């Protein structure tokens, strides 16, 4: 089965929270090739949640797999409302990789938990 999978198409999962941005690069089967985060890129505290930190995290992930030269096309799956969303996309585009799919997989509650009871005065 591994012979039929095109290794040139990979997936990038970006989890952009308000505190950090996590980037994971996998092959088509879901096996992790490289990963990185704003915190692993050397940012601490509030600078971890900046768009520049997300850009740096994406660049470090692509630097890890640069010698393999197997990534030609990527599918991007973005989760979360953080400030690193757009910056990570721009960093992927500037890495010279073709983006074939951009999907927002942010979980959305359909009803949520039960509301608090009404306050009585």
Q: How confident is the model at residue 65 (pLDDT cuts 50, 70, 90)?
A: confident
Q: How confident is the model at residue 3 (pLDDT cuts 50, 70, 90)?
A: very low
Residue 7 has pLDDT above 90, yes or no: no
Q: Tokens 């721009």 identify what position?
A: 90
Q: What is the pLDDT of residues 20-34, one digit of tens each?
A: 999 999 998 989 999
Count of beta carbons in the 10 Å neighbourhood of residue 4: 6
Q: And the tokens for 83?
A: 């400030």
Q: How many domains does the chain have?
A: 1
Whether 109 is in a domain gets the answer: no
Whether 20 is in a domain gets the answer: yes
Whether 118 is in a domain gets the answer: no
Residue 5 has pLDDT above 60, yes or no: no
Whether 47 is in a domain gets the answer: yes
Q: Parallel, antiparallel, or unpaired: how do β-strands 32-37 and 73-79 relate? A: unpaired
Whether 28 is in a domain gets the answer: yes
Q: What is the pLDDT of residues 82-108, one digit of tens each?
A: 998 999 999 999 988 899 999 999 999
Q: How far apart are CA 3 and CA 20, in angstroms?
A: 36
Residue 112 has pLDDT above 90, yes or no: no
Whether 49 is in a domain gets the answer: yes
Range of the domain at 78: 9-104
Whether 56 is in a domain gets the answer: yes
Average pLDDT, the chain: 89
Count of beta carbons in the 10 Å neighbourhood of residue 37: 21
Q: What is the CATH number of the domain that holds 96?
A: 3.30.420.80
Whether 115 is in a domain gets the answer: no
Residue 1 has pLDDT above 70, yes or no: no
Spatial neighbors of 65 by CB under 8 A, at least 6 apart, are 25, 33, 34, 71
| pLDDT for position 69 | 64
Q: How far apart are CA 42 and CA 113, in angstroms?
A: 37
């Amino acid at each position: 089965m591994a012979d039929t999978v095109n290794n040139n198409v990979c997936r990038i999962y970006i989890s952009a929270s308000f505190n950090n941005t996590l980037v994971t690069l996998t092959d088509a089967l879901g096996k992790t090739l490289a990963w990185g985060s704003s915190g692993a890129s050397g940012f601490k505290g509030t600078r971890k949640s900046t768009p520049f930190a997300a850009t740096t995290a994406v660049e470090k992930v692509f630097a890890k797999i640069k010698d393999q030269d197997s990534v030609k096309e990527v599918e991007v799956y973005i989760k979360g409302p953080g400030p690193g969303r757009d910056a990570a996309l721009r960093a992927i585009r500037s890495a010279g990789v073709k983006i074939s799919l951009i999907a927002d997989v942010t979980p959305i509650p359909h009803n949520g938990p039960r509301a608090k009871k009404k306050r009585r005065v």
